[in-house]
Structure 1
Amino acid sequence: SVKLPSALSLLDGALVEPLAVGLHGVSLARLKPNARVLVLGGGTVGLTATFWARRLGAGRLVTASRSRRRESLALAMGADAFVTLGEGEGERIAEALGGPPDYVFEAIGVVGALQQSVNLVKPNGEVISMGFCMAPDAVIPGIATFKQVKLTFSMAWTLEEFQTAVDLLDRGDVEPRAMVSNTISLDALPSMIETLRGAHNETKVHVEPWA
């Protein structure tokens, strides 16, 4: 088990698991120094992947999403630039990175994201899937083969990574706290769940049962 230090709040404790998820995925890549890194997705997993990629060796680092809602968060977590996805995304990403990405961390989790990652990564590059899509998601093997892409799937975290996330917060790193977009009471939870079902601007919602 991992004990939460007394100096950390319950809000800090709620950030440990997503930080460990991001650390696990980025650690699997074993980033080469000064690598060009693309994180696809501006949600919690994408933001924690951005956070750790910056700290584990990324050179130029870009976070990309269809919406600009979390642009400021991505930059705060360590991205050098934020790019919107859509028509012409490959050119925008390569321009922001100074070339195609060596690594793509896929943190979108929707059908089509794996092939999108394969299309964007450089030849002999690596795609790390962190999006946890539960639907069949076709990848065109011929394209991945021509580019000789390595595809890795990341699942959860290790106990050591969980402890690393706790230690990071205990040292006073404050950037992850920016992911908490709202703190609500238990009574407000049902209405918040309905809000989260549609278009929204939340990232991490913290429930404070005693509020």
Structure 2
Amino acid sequence: MKAAVFEKTGERLVLRDVVVPELGDNELLLKVAFTGICGSDLHAAETPGVLQPGTVMGHEFTGEIVQSTAPDWTVGTRVAANPYWLCDACAAGGSCRSGGDAACASGSFMGFRPDLPGAYADYVRIRAGQAIRLPDHVSLRDGALMEPLAVARHAVDVCGPMQGADVLVIGGGPIGLGVVLMARDAGAARVVLSEPDPNRRACALEIGAVAAIDPIAEGLPAALSRLGIGAPGIVFECVGAPGFLQQTIDVMALRGRAVIVGVCMTEDRVLPRTAIRKEATLKFVLGYRMADFHHVSRYLAGHAATAAAMISRVVSLGELPEIFDRLRAEKSLIKVLVRPGQGPAE
């Protein structure tokens, strides 16, 4: 089968012929339909020491079962997947660390190790316990949004009740836009996005944000005041770069809640006194749980057309190396999907 393979930091992915994965007990082989290009893939490929040569990335995917060693899963079933490969103890129903799922201490995400290949390929192997059946009228294309939306759903769930609340989302990438969707789904009254890119701001308005602020053209506090919101009671930080944690604390309301979703990979400076004076609650989130995937599956059953506004482009597996390089610098595209040549037609 064909796969786009990482070989060296800073170099283009290479299209190679690789062996189709063999199944163990209770596993599924999927014919990959669509795979999303994630920002974490871009960061991993350009950061020395993160990926080993021979790694096949791609952890946001849908496909059709073509082989099964699991009694409850049949050939032809359309699925999405939780790409977190649990340790044996957690996969068997136990828990090596309280919380399970992405909190599994010994697990790993597919697509970041050579021995756990992802879905930048014609076929991918998953455990049966990772699979989520797609609702009948949700396409394989739209279903490929399930993983990033599960991240957003988990963040909203960890935040707690937000019925009737004003919510600010900082950062309009796929995760930030997913938080816009999931916050609206959770009953937030007004959701505002802060994002400098005009295409991402336009998408936010299309999917339910009441306003989308350009923080470069207009200061965030002034813009919130103009909108009649003032200091929002709930803030989601979805950028993951130095300075944004402090900005989150600065704009939130007295006794407000902030959820830190963006993953900052470097040291950052924060003035604790700002948060102390506000008696602020800060929560940091990791990944998702299977319950988040099932929630998103139900959400897509009724709102797939809305979520699909996040999809900017679909490319072939052969086009992946070139578009992968472009996405390092081009921020106007939101979610690019890869459709391997042998993927099911839909």
Q: In terms of Rg, which structure is larger?
A: 2
User: Contact 1:62 / 1:97 at 8 angstroms: preserved in 2?
Assistant: no
**1:1-40 alignment runs, 5 A limit:** 1=129, 2-40=132-170
Letter in 2 for 1:157: Y
2-structure distance, mates of 1:6, 1:35: 33
* 8 Å Cα contact 1:94-1:101 kept in structure 2: no
Tell which has more relative contact order, 1 or 2 (C-alpha 8 A, sep 6+): 1
- Correspondence 1:77 to 2:207: yes
Percent identical across equivalent pairs? Answer: 35
Q: In 2, Cα distance between the equivalents of 1:103 and 1:202?
A: 27
Aligned position for 2:189: 59
After TM superposition, the structure 1 stretch with the greater mean CA deviation from structure 2, 22-31 or 81-90, is: 81-90
Q: Equivalent residue of 1:117, what SS?
A: helix
Q: Please list every run of at least 4 consecutive aligned residues from structure 1 whose deviation after the TM superposition is greater than 4 angstroms.
A: none
Change (3 A) 1:101 1:6: same
**CA distance change for structure 1 residues 173 and 6 in 2, over 3 Å: closer, same or farther?**
closer
Instruction: Give how far 1:206 is off.
Output: 0.6
Unaligned runs of 5+ in 2: 1-128
Question: Is the deviation greater in 80-89 or in 135-144?
Answer: 80-89
- Cα distance in 1 for partners of 2:166, 2:212 equals 14
Is the 1:48–1:77 Cα contact (8 Å) retained in structure 2? no
Deviations 1:92-151 (A, max 9, x none): 123225221001000011111100100010111111001111111221111111111110
Whole-angstrom distance in 2 between the partners of 1:25 and 1:94: 26
* 1:136–1:97 distance in 2 versus 1, CA, 3 Å: farther
1:164 matched to 2:295: yes
> Contact 2:204 / 2:212 at 8 angstroms: preserved in 1?
yes
For the pair 1:181 / 2:289, whether they are aligned, the reply is no
The residue number in structure 2 matching 1:41 is 171
More deviation, 91-100/113-122: 91-100
Measured at CA, do residues 60 and 8 of structure 1 come closer, stay the same or move farther in structure 2, by a change above 3 Å?
A: closer
1:27 to partner: Cα distance: 1.2
Distance 1:69 1:171, change over 3 A: closer
Q: CA RMSD in A?
A: 1.6
Which deviates the most, 28-37 or 100-109? Answer: 28-37
Gaps of 5+ in 1: none
Residue type at the aligned position of 1:168: Y
From the superposition, tell whether residues 18 and 108 of structure 1 become closer, same or farther in structure 2 (CA, over 3 Å).
same
Which residue of the partner structure matches residue 273 of structure 2? 142
| 2:162–2:183 CA contact under 8 A, matched in 1 | no
Residue in 1 that maps onto 2:241: 110
Distance 1:38 1:77 in 2: 15
1:123 aligned residue: 254
Check whether the contact 2:138–2:300 (CA below 8 A) recurs between aligned residues: yes
Correspondence 1:151 to 2:151 = no
The TM-score, its normalising length taken from structure 1, stands at 0.94
TM-score (norm 2): 0.58
